[in-house]
């Protein structure tokens, strides 16, 4: 896949995610939340340029650091979502002000990592961004689904933010 196509896919996925964050939406317990992250990872890992071969050590370190960062930020993001059980037993979620903070922090950290990569003269492909986006979505979905399963009765569970 070319970088232009990757960027279009990334922008589309991010726009879709952000547009849904602040609308209440029912959590479907039968949904395969891991499918989109796996597809993003497979598409990213098919790119032979995901690692800059001229600066291989630094490129691998940046990629691993990025993956760890987004896994942690996905966990944070998953805890910022408000969850509640409706009277019919369904579980709903909606982003909060803390969700905006999590997104802002993630964007600032990503910009910092890109700046570090540029300072080290490491080429960073858009496929690496696809891979980390998949990791972000997976970790967030794991937290939200775990929290949703732990809800008892028609109560609300608010994040600590």
Please report, for the chain, the start and end positions of each structural domain, with discontinuous segments joined by +: 3-22+32-157
Beta-sheet strands, E only, within the chain: 25-26, 82-85, 91-94, 156-157
**Dihedral in degrees, nearest 10, Cα atoms 139, 90, 156, 33:** 0
Q: Which residues touch 81 (CB under 8 Å, ≥6 apart)?
A: 93, 94, 95, 96, 99, 144, 147, 159
* Predicted pLDDT of residue 28: 83
For residue 99, what are the CA distances in angstroms to 33, 45, 133? 19, 29, 16
pLDDT at 153 over 60: no
Q: What percent of the chain has pLDDT over 70?
A: 91
* Predicted pLDDT of residue 2: 63
Give the predicted TM-score (pTM) of the model.
Answer: 0.80
Check if the beta carbon of residue 44 is closer than 8 Å to that of residue 130: yes
pLDDT at 161 over 70: no
Show the tokens assigned to 92: 């709903």
Which candidate, 62, 42, 50, places its Cα nearest to that of 109?
62
Check if the beta carbon of residue 61 is closer than 8 Å to that of residue 130: no
| Confidence at 12, pLDDT banded by 50, 70, 90 | confident
Phi, psi of 25 (to 5 degrees): -145, 140
| Confidence at 4, pLDDT banded by 50, 70, 90 | confident
Show the tokens assigned to 4: 């232009």
pLDDT at 93 over 70: yes
DSSP 93: E
């Amino acid at each position: 896949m070319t970088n232009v196509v990757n960027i279009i896919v990334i922008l589309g996925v991010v726009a879709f995610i952000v547009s849904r964050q602040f609308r209440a939406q029912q959590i479907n317990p039968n949904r395969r939340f891991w499918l989109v992250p796996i597809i993003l990872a497979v598409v990213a890992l098919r790119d032979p340029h995901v690692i800059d071969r001229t600066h291989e050590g630094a490129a691998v370190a940046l990629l691993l650091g990025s993956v760890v960062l987004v896994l942690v930020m996905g966990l944070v993001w998953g805890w910022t979502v408000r969850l509640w059980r409706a009277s019919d037993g369904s579980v709903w979620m909606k982003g909060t002000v803390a969700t905006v903070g999590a997104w802002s922090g993630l964007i600032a950290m990503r910009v910092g990592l890109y700046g570090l990569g540029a300072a080290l003269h490491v080429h960073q492909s858009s496929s690496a961004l696809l891979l980390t986006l998949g990791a972000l979505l997976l970790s967030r979905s794991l937290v939200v689904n775990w929290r949703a399963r732990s809800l008892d009765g028609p109560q609300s569970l608010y994040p600590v933010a």
